[in-house]
Amino acid sequence: MCGITGFIEWNRDLTKESDLVLSMTSCLEKRGPDAQGTWISGPCAFGHRRLSVMDPENGAQPMIIHEEDAVFTIVYNGEIYNALELKAELQRRGRTFRTNCDTEVLLQSYIEWGPDCVYRLNGIFAFAIWDSVREHVFFARDRLGVKPLFYSEIDGTLIFGSEPKAILRHPKVEPVVGPEGLAEIFVIGPARTPGHGVYKDLKELRPGHVMIFNRNGLRKYAYWKLEAEPHTDNVEETAATIRQLLQDTMDRQLISDVPVCTLLSGGLDSSALTALAVDYYKRTGQGQVNTYSIDYVDNDKHFQAHSYQPGADGPWIQRMVEELQTAHHAIKFDTPELVAALPDSTIARDLPGMADVDASLLLFCREIKKGATVAISGEAADEVFGGYPWFHREELLNSGTFPWSVATGLRADLLSPEIREWIKPEQYIADRYSEAVAETPKLEGEKGERARMRVMSYLNITRFMPTLLDRKDRMSMAAGLEVRVPYCDHRLVQYVWNIPWEIKTTGNREKGILRKALEGILPEDVLYRKKSPYPKTHNPNYLTAVRDQMLKILDDPTSPILPLINADKIRAIAASKESSSNLPWFGQLMSGPQLFAYLSQVNFWLSTYNVKIR
């Protein structure tokens, strides 16, 4: 995994801009701690930071291939999981290779097939290719948006980067946020509307899209999207197909020239991937799989079961470690560490994020990095297979808004009257929700529960899942750790999206069809364990720490957040013990403590990035 950046300015020779492209590249150092490279030719400047995973000796970037008078140059972030098959096909077509890395496979694929190469790729990727023959730069992002790509087009200049921080280094881009950006922060956040970069001049290339920048301007189009198709397999056939797809995906994603581990929570999703990894290691003679889990000091004392988190993970992690005989590493963090990591997690996103959920993952990834370079994670299974509570609770299914963010009234009340009038929070989220529902592909003749659950699945895959993928990418890459997410294999996602709800919930269980597919792979008690989300701290000291932090911000007249918020409302929440501790406002994990932490992140972001509101 890596960080990419650069800019294209057709009417200038950029060879004198080496300091600028170097500055843009250097700020992505944590994404790629192993090497740095830049390349400038005429109107095009590329920068790359490298995290070595495949062919460390020969995979330096930017990578350049000369063919007669033509020049092709790539900067790339990601992994191509079918690189071996593509390489073999390209060799049959007469192409020769000088490395064993997937970067060269990707560039040779583009040279052979042009922009259509994206249809052949299985992987996670964001890349830019300078093509001197067509005299354009070609950009692409993977189908589910696992790898990020942001850009800004200003006065004929196109500036791009893996993270906003690289683009913000360019003098043409200012950290300005307007009403839409504020609405994203205060109404949608920590999620983001697809394609929205929050900053006024910043956009995101949407998942499954490409763009081409030439002297005539910028053109974008989708090369992949979910398609509504009839599902004709029965329960047994469906389970068998899912099992085969997962097995194939894991076999592809466990290939690496550096140490690989799995993240193990003891739940269905991570336990399944760990079991498949153990099987792969046995088949390939690679020895013991390393597993990692996260927990918090005194969580066992303060844990209280509820509908979103019905049980503690610890005993189930131990159950799987003993079952699979992995080399396990249990990592624990304390409240002061979580609070102290909030600023770093904000910088990793360049935006306010998921509070301690982000901070804890950042700390976790730093610890994992001490022993591994690549980790396998169970992220996205709940969106794909329908595991979240809002798939199963009528009041959330019928909420008429994004079911992970139903507290629109509360969030609107947190704003100052002027900002509330300016950004119109209720209307903003209603519009974004309507757009998402209207965008959902429909299957002719599909009605009732099947049609309703198709929409719900689409919302989760295209609106909620990107939030968690952003989190996973930014926090892991800020630690120089590559995290792979097998449940985001596009073949699996497309297949499962079309499975009727009554089959998805086989056995009247959430993710029932996945459980059936994993029979014989996992022990029955783990297989049918009630879902539990990513662990968070239940220590009341965390609430005290972030609430006190927010009150200090409110007491400081220089705090940049003050003109944007209703300080009296926030003080009232802080004074109410019940509201402070139990105030669900986003997802499963973000309640009262996370609200204070999120607002603190907003204040830190406004100050540190010198954000201008206009």
* Look-up of token digits 């220590």: 539
What are the two backbone dihedrals, phi and then psi, of residue 565, each rounded to the nearest 5 degrees?
-125, 165
Here the tokens at position 36 are: 């740095």
**Rounded-to-integer distance, Cα 99 and Cα 58, Å:** 6
What are the two backbone dihedrals, phi and then psi, of residue 289, each rounded to the nearest 5 degrees?
-85, 135
**Residue 249 in contact with residue 492, Cβ under 8 Å?**
yes
24 alpha-carbon distance from chain centroid? 22
3-state secondary structure of 476: helix
In angstroms, the first-to-last Cα distance of the chain is 36
96 alpha-carbon distance from chain centroid? 35
Rg (CA), the chain: 24
* Active-site annotation holder among 2, 27, 44, 101: 2
Here the tokens at position 66 are: 């000369």
- Cβ contacts of 198 within 8 Å, gap of 6 or more: 164, 177, 181, 184, 185, 192, 351
Burial class (CB in 10 A: 0-12, 13-18, 19+), 180: middle
**Rounded-to-integer distance, Cα 496 and Cα 404, Å:** 21
Q: HSE-up of 398 (CA within 13 Å, CB side)? A: 4
* Look-up of token digits 């709800």: 501
* Look-up of token digits 């929409």: 455
**Residue 5 in contact with residue 47, Cβ under 8 Å?**
yes
Spatial CA neighbour of 183 closest among 193, 173, 194: 193
2 labelled catalytic: yes
- Cβ contacts of 339 within 8 Å, gap of 6 or more: 359, 542, 545, 546, 549, 597
- Cβ contacts of 511 within 8 Å, gap of 6 or more: 268, 381, 382, 385, 386, 387, 504, 531
**Rounded-to-integer distance, Cα 127 and Cα 103, Å:** 10
Here the tokens at position 613 are: 């509101």
Tell me how long the chain is.
614
- Cβ contacts of 89 within 8 Å, gap of 6 or more: none
Residue-wise over 330-358: b if at least 16 C-beta within 10 A, else e? Answer: eeebebeebbebbebbbbbbbbbbbbbbb
**Rounded-to-integer distance, Cα 17 and Cα 489, Å:** 39
Q: What is the 3-state secondary structure (H, E, C) of 49-80?
A: EECCCCCCCCCCCCEEEEECCEEEEEEEEEEE
Catalytic residues: 2
